[in-house]
């Protein structure tokens, strides 16, 4: 008989005394809620003899098998093996084009997770992991035999784009923090990570042809801290870590506004001194007067405050477009996903015609390098190229404008999805210019009827951004996203006629047991019976 360590014995005892194993298969531990969960007679016992069978070839299949074996091994307290010949926990890649849909079926003899695509298999694994004991969250051995009630889950997402944005420009977060963020997203079946890589306060991605962007522009952040940036190697590491979890990175370079960090790095990108008033235009709210000759542009000063809307590129300079071309080219070379985000928000000191001219040219550059542009909803005031996306955050007219041009909308209403918004008036972190967003507010809305005239067909999906003017470390990130990132995951995945706040609230309380074990700094909303 295998030697049982005292630790494992205690763990076994605890598992009997506070067993959380389910009697029948149900959805009470699964977020986002699956389409269909059916229970059946019987159960499957996962133990050291369980073998993962990998059926069907594909780039990520072996990794996925190991990932699952690792997680299960952690709660069993013993390793389990993977095989391509035989086994009773089957990862089955099937023929077809439903790459995100999956089926999970549990009988006395076997468990089968099947999908036409690797993403679907990965999502099936996430649902399966949520059926296992909570100790899975910390890889703590709990029982040498785990009973899973028989039944089946049939599932597929409502929207193809389920994203979250992390602002690494206002405060910089290192690679490990980003990986932590990715892990949270992966568990909730998100598939796009939007990285806000530049803003007035910082430039966070190495561009080899313009090295001062990070040398100078990356040297500080809101509040005057030391800032930071990702080398190209680090960025590739983030992209690869995300890709392994079936998450596609969407890089954003915000322009022509929100560009002070670039303007501080290179004098020649500045509009220059406006002779009309003698003021450095990029630091004023005075509209530029392009008819007047520019004199001696000076670099902007680094900026560590949180006001927005004071900076702009010189939209009439050829050099500006050479710069945009270089930046887009270098980032595209490292970005396998289909999208490049050009920002375009709050360019309050760019003349309207200049703004349109700039957005049109930026889109062409992105298209030249083979990517589809996404821009904040203001870009719909320019001429969107076919297929480009407007990310709705506040102005409904802009969403409608995009729709009229035949372009799709990505839904990020600030009043529902902005995780930097405070929960209520007592929240210490965050802002509240758009709204206070309690967990039920983040849950109770429907992307398909939020904006008049924009329906499900007009939408590619939903994204929940975390802006970080007030967020300085990982604990802060956790406080703002737990639990709201769970709510938006379900808004994006589960059809709205299946969603129900009371039911979600119960599942959220169940999920919090894992956060407690992991030491996650979550917001204990009074709306939830934790
Ligand atoms: C608005 S929403 C912004 C960001 C800020 C955020 C703070 C959008 C496209 N722009 O620059 O960080 O509000 O909540």
Element (DSSP H or E) covering residue 491: helix 484-493
Nearest to 496 by CA among 419, 439, 444: 444
The stretch 454-473 carries a mean pLDDT of 98
Is the Cβ atom of 235 under 6 angstroms away from ligand 1? no
Q: Is the CB of 281 under 6 A from ligand 1?
A: no
* Predicted pLDDT at 274: 54
d(CA 66, CA 83): 10
What pLDDT sits at residue 23?
84
**Cα distance between residue 504 and residue 510, in whole Å:** 10
Confidence of residue 372 (pLDDT cuts 50, 70, 90): very high
Does ligand 1 lie within 6 Å of residue 345's CB atom? yes
Q: So where are the chain's domains?
A: 23-155, 161-518
What would the mean pLDDT of 47-60 be, rounded to a whole number?
Answer: 95
The CA distance from 343 to 250, in Å, is 11
User: How close is the Cα of 331 to the center of ligand 1, in Å?
Assistant: 23
Distance 13 CA to ligand 1 centre (A): 51
CA 236 centroid distance within chain: 17
Sign of CA dihedral 286, 292, 295, 297: positive
Closest atom, ligand 1, to C-alpha of 308: 11
Q: 54: which strand partners?
A: 91
pLDDT at 295: 58
The owner of tokens 């520019």 is 294
Q: pLDDT tens-digit profile of 266-296?
A: 998 987 655 555 544 444 333 444 444 455 5
Q: SS3 for 51? A: strand
Report d(CA 343, CA 161) in Å as an integer.
Answer: 18
Q: Per-residue pLDDT averaged across 490-504, rounded?
A: 98
The b-or-e profile of 2-20 (16+ CB within 10 A means b, else e) is eeeeeebeebbeebeeeee
Q: pTM of the entire structure?
A: 0.93
Least confident of 178-187, 286-295, 314-323, 381-390: 286-295
* For helices 501-518 and 484-493, angle between their N-to-C axes, nearest 10 degrees: 130
pLDDT in tens, 69-97: 999 999 999 999 999 999 999 999 999 99
| 23-155 and 161-518 agree in CATH topology | no
pLDDT of 7: 52
Cβ–ligand 1 contact at 200 (below 6 Å): no
- Angle at which helices 318-333 and 352-368 cross, to 10°: 40
Looking at residue 285, what is its pLDDT? 36
Active-site residue, from 55, 66, 298, 346: 346
12 ligand 1 Cβ < 6 A: no
Check residue 224 and give its pLDDT: 97
Task: Report the pLDDT value the prediction gives residue 272, as an integer from 0 to 100.
Answer: 63
346 is catalytic: yes
The residue length of the chain stands at 530
Return the pLDDT at 263.
Answer: 95
385 in contact with ligand 1, CB cutoff 6 A: no
Strand partners of residue 154:
36, 103
DSSP code string of 326-389 = HHHHHHHHT--SSEEEEE----TTS-HHHHHHHHHHHHHHHHHTT-EEEEEGGGGGS-PPTT-E
231, 264 contact by CB (below 8 A): no
Q: Is the pLDDT of residue 326 over 80?
A: yes
Q: How far from chain centre, in Å, is Cα 14?
A: 36
Q: Which atom of ligand 1 is nearest to the CA of 467?
A: 12
Helix (H, G, I), strand (E, B) or coil at 474: helix
Q: Give dist(CA 95, CA 86) in Å, integer.
A: 20
Mutate to test the pocket of ligand 1, among 414, 433, 464, 470 (most ligand atoms within 8 A of CB): 414
Tokens representing residue 386 in the block = 């076919």
User: Alpha-carbon torsion 348, 349, 352, 354, what sign?
Assistant: negative
Band of pLDDT at residue 298, cut at 50, 70 and 90? confident
pLDDT at position 297, please?
73
**In which order are the strands placed within the sheet that holds 89-93?**
36-47, 145-155, 102-106, 111-115, 89-93, 51-55, 81-83
pLDDT exceeds 80 at position 11: no
The minimum-distance atom of ligand 1 relative to the CA of 421 is 14
186, 245 in Cβ contact below 8 A?
Answer: yes
**Cβ neighbours for 486, distance < 8 A, ≥ 6 positions apart:** 31, 188, 508, 511
The domain 161-518 is classified under which CATH number: 3.20.20.80, 3.20.20.370, 3.40.640.10, 2.130.10.30? 3.20.20.80
- Is the minimum distance from the CB of 308 to ligand 1 under 6 angstroms? yes
| Lookup: tokens for 184 | 């949270």
Fold of the 23-155 domain: Chitobiase; domain 2 (3.30.379)
Determine whether the shortest distance from the Cβ of 420 to ligand 1 is under 6 A.
Answer: yes
The DSSP string of 255-284 is ESSS-HHHHHH-GGGS--EETTTTEEGGGS
**Pocket test residue of 345, 410, 471 for ligand 1, highest count of atoms within 8 A of CB:** 345
Our answer on whether the CB atom of 310 is closer than 6 Å to any ligand 1 atom is: no
397 Cβ contact list (under 8 Å, min separation 6): none
**Tokens matching residue 4:** 């049982």
Q: What pLDDT is attached to residue 268?
A: 87
pLDDT interval class at 134 (50, 70, 90): very high
When pLDDT is cut at 50, 70 and 90, the band that residue 316 belongs to is confident
* CA of residue 343 to ligand 1 center, whole Å: 11
State which ligand 1 atom lies nearest to the alpha carbon of 376.
Answer: 9
Q: Please report the atom of ligand 1 found closest to the CA of residue 394.
A: 2
């Amino acid at each position: 008989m295998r030697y049982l360590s005292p630790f494992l014995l205690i763990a076994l005892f605890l598992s009997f005394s506070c067993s959380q194993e389910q009697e029948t298969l149900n959805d009470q531990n699964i977020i986002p809620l699956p389409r269909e969960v059916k229970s059946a007679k019987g159960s499957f016992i996962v133990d050291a003899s369980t073998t993962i069978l990998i059926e069907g070839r594909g780039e990520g299949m072996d990794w996925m098998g190991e990932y699952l074996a690792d997680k299960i091994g952690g709660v069993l307290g013993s390793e389990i093996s993977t095989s391509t010949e035989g086994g009773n926990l089957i990862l089955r890649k099937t023929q077809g084009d439903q790459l995100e849909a999956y089926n999970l079926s549990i009988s006395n003899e076997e468990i089968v997770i099947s999908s036409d695509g690797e993403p679907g298999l990965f999502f099936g694994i996430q649902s399966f992991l949520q059926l296992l004991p909570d100790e899975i969250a910390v890889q703590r051995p709990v029982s040498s035999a785990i009973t899973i009630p028989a039944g089946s889950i049939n599932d597929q997402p409502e929207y193809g784009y389920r994203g979250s944005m992390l602002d690494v420009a206002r405060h910089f977060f290192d690679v490990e923090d980003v990986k932590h963020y990715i892990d949270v997203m992966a568990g909730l079946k998100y598939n796009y990570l939007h990285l806000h890589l530049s803003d007035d306060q910082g430039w966070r991605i190495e561009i080899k042809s313009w090295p001062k962007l990070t040398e100078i522009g990356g040297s500080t952040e809101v509040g005057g801290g030391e800032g930071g940036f990702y080398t190209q190697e680090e960025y590739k590491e983030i992209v690869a870590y995300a890709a392994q979890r079936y998450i596609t990175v969407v890089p954003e370079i915000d322009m022509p506004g929100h560009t002070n960090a670039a303007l501080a790095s290179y004098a020649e990108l500045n509009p220059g001194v406006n002779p009309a008033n003698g003021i450095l235009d990029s630091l004023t709210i005075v509209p530029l007067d392009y008819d007047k000759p520019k004199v001696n542009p000076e670099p902007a000063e680094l900026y560590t405050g949180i006001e927005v809307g004071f900076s702009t590129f010189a939209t009439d300079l050829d050099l500006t477009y050479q710069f945009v071309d270089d930046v887009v080219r270098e980032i595209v070379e490292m970005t396998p996903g289909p999208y490049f985000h050009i920002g375009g928000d709050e360019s309050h000191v760019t003349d309207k015609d200049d703004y349109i001219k700039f957005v049109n040219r930026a889109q062409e550059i992105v298209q030249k390098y083979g990517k589809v542009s996404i821009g904040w909803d203001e870009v719909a005031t320019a001429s969107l190229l076919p297929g480009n996306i407007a990310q709705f955050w506040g102005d409904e007219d802009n969403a409608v404008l995009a729709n009229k041009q035949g372009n799709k909308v990505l839904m990020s209403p600030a009043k529902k999805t902005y995780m930097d918004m405070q929960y209520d008036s007592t929240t210490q972190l965050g802002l509240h210019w758009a709204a206070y967003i309690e967990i039920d507010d983040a849950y109770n809305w429907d992307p398909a009827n939020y904006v008049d005239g924009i329906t499900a067909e007009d939408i590619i999906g939903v994204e929940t951004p975390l802006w970080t003017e007030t967020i300085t470390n990982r604990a802060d990130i956790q406080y703002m996203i737990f639990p709201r990132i769970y709510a938006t995951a379900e808004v994006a995945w589960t059809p709205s006629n299946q969603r129900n706040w009371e039911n979600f609230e119960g599942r959220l309380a169940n999920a919090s047991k894992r956060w407690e074990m992991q030491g996650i700094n979550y917001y204990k909303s009074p709306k939830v019976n934790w």
